């Protein structure tokens, strides 16, 4: 054995404190964005059946939930609305008294320091469940942009700090940036869903947001999961058009894309840890097949390691609690 030559990597792993000293990647509370769902009505707290621990809240109870979010040390939420009424053009998306607009005003009044990121899309608000204007069964790109601009402006007028357009129409960042600038909201950032795949992992979210398409699917505007180079083209377009953050969605099966976008474009990259990724862990943990805490930490760390600067995750409160416990 004395003649063998090899490296002793284990030296750096021998104690917990030593491993902490040389850890290359950590998840901080400042990295976390918590998605929340606002619904019409009062005294409503409805658990999403496919997402244990995730709820739709009426505005009176949403305030209590956000109090808890802030107490955990989370500084940003992504706000989704579930309207009481839907129509062909999704008019409640840009209604100044829509569910998201009212939620923003109320939450900003309670927590002015909280960063509110408004999801800017039409699918929750249209009676057909698609992300734009429909004509003869086809989603019209350019006509849809006008409604997305109206939605973004109305959300900022209500007090949103960041606009997060998720529709995947061509030119949506350019249109919204122009619309915000014309409305004198030049300082409002755009967190673009730059790379959004047509993924099976979105299923539970559609329970939460009531946004399933009534016909067809979204493959004519969301990306093919098999494509890697296309993701860079999409992200570069949004960068040129004025995006300030770039979202990759989903995250777990697309860590190569997170890494590619981060290494190609000098913008903050956001990994969206989507509903299906959440529900898989919840289901396995309920059966005792996984340690939920350890799996969540490992998963979110992998997203940071791949290059994500921020993570949108339904596990945000859990992760913040793990971090707080480790600091005690």
Catalytic residue among 64, 75, 196, 317: 196
> Are β-strands 162-165 and 138-140 bridged in parallel, bridged antiparallel, or unpaired?
unpaired
Q: Taking the mean position of all CA atoms in its chain, how far away is CA 129?
A: 19
102 is in an annotated binding site: no
The H helix count followed by the E strand count for the chain is 11, 12
Residue 108 among the catalytic residues: no
**Residue 76 burial (CB count, 10 A):** 20
**Residue 215 burial (CB count, 10 A):** 9
121 is in an annotated binding site: yes
267 is in an annotated binding site: no
123 is in an annotated binding site: yes
Whole-number Cα distances in Å, 180 to 71, 151, 163, 243? 32, 10, 10, 12
Q: Measured between alpha carbons, how far is 63 from 204 in angstroms, rounded to an integer?
A: 24
* Per-residue exposure over 255-283, b if at least 16 CB sit within 10 Å of its own CB, e if not: bebbbbbbeebebbbbbbbbbbbbbbbbe
Q: Give the HSE-up count for residue 30: Cα atoms under 13 Å, Cβ half-sphere.
A: 2
Contacts of 110 (CB under 8 A, 6+ apart): 63, 66, 67
Catalytic residue among 28, 64, 249, 317: 249
Residue 249 among the catalytic residues: yes
Q: Is 41 exposed, middle or buried (0-12, 13-18, 19+ CB in 10 A)?
A: middle
55 is in an annotated binding site: no
234 is in an annotated binding site: yes
Which residues participate in catalysis according to the annotation? 196, 249
| Binding site members for Mg(2+) | 234
Annotated binding residues, written as ranges, equal: 121, 123, 131, 206, 218, 234, 275, 314
Indicate the annotated binding residues for 5-aminolevulinate.
Answer: 206, 218, 275, 314
């Amino acid at each position: 054995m004395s003649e063998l030559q090899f490296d002793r990597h284990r030296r750096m792993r021998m104690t917990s404190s030593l491993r902490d000293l040389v850890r290359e990647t950590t998840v901080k509370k400042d990295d976390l964005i918590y998605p929340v769902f606002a619904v019409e009505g009062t005294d409503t707290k409805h658990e999403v059946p496919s997402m244990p621990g995730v709820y739709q809240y009426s505005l009176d109870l949403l305030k209590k939930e956000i109090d808890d979010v802030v107490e955990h040390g989370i500084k940003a939420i992504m706000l989704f609305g579930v309207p009481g009424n839907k129509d062909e053009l999704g008019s409640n998306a840009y209604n100044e008294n829509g569910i998201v607009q009212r939620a923003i005003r109320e939450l900003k009044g309670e927590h002015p320091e909280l960063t509110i990121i408004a999801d800017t899309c039409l699918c929750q608000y249209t009676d057909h469940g698609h992300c734009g204007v429909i004509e003869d069964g086809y989603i019209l790109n350019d006509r849809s942009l006008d409604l997305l601009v109206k939605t973004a402006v109305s959300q900022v007028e209500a007090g949103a700090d960041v606009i997060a357009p998720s529709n995947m129409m061509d030119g949506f960042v350019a249109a919204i940036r122009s619309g915000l600038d014309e409305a004198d909201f030049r300082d409002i950032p755009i967190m673009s869903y730059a790379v959004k795949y047509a993924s099976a992992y979105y299923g539970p979210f559609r329970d939460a947001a009531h946004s399933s398409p009534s016909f067809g699917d979204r493959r004519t505007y969301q990306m093919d999961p098999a494509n890697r180079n296309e993701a860079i083209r999409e992200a570069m377009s949004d960068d040129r058009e004025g995006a300030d953050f770039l979202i990759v969605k989903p995250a777990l099966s697309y860590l190569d894309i997170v890494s590619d976008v981060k290494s190609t474009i000098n913008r903050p990259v956001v990994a969206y840890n989507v509903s299906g990724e959440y529900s898989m862990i919840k289901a396995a943990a309920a059966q005792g097949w996984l340690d939920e805490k350890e799996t969540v930490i490992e998963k979110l760390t992998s997203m940071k390691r791949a290059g994500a600067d921020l993570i949108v995750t339904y596990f945000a409160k859990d992760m913040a609690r793990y971090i707080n416990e480790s600091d005690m």
